[in-house]
Amino acid sequence: MSLKIRQATINDIPLIQDLTYTIWPVTYGSIVSKEQLKYMLELIYSDASLQKQMQEGHHYIVVEDDKKPVAFADYGFLEDKIFKLHKIYVLPDQQGKSIGKFLINQVIDFVKQAGATTLVLNVNRHNKAKQFYEHLGFTVLREDDIDIGEGYFMNDYIMGLDLGKK
């Protein structure tokens, strides 16, 4: 495996969408309805939404294995030395190869250089990724039910990582 990381740009929006449309049905297909999945994809991953996120300070990074995109993440400043990992996704056939850990460690390095002391994230309460985050040192801070419109909610754990311990 020859992993390389690069900053994504607006030109990478189609790539981010392709990765997402491959990953999300596997990740969320048994957690949310097909209707909610479709709604969320349109809400979060439309061209306009991704452009707005990037303009508002979301930093997208892409992981390539031998020049093939296999994962991406999105992180940004939240408040007073706290950064948020907004998204992290690895292609289903690439999971279990330490790509997610590699990607999170890259995000940690980036945010620590920017002065962060804490990294937080949301994870669906039924997503098996919660155990992955716990293995990396994240702890559950609280639960949150986020109204995303059209009668849909994201039922998440808010998890945090003290970067002074990393």
Q: Which of 111, 128, 129 is nearest to 119 (CA)?
A: 111
Mind listing the pLDDT tens digit for each residue in 47-72?
999 999 999 999 999 999 999 999 99
Q: Report, as an integer, the average pLDDT of 2-29.
A: 97
- The C-alpha atoms of residue 146 and residue 93 are separated, in whole angstroms, by 30
- The chain-wide mean pLDDT, for the chain, equals 97
pLDDT in tens, 98-147: 999 999 999 999 999 999 999 999 999 999 999 999 999 999 999 999 99
Q: Which class is 3-165 in CATH?
A: alpha beta
Residue 1 scores a pLDDT above 80:
no
Percentages of the chain per state (helix, strand, coil), in multiples of 5? 40, 35, 20
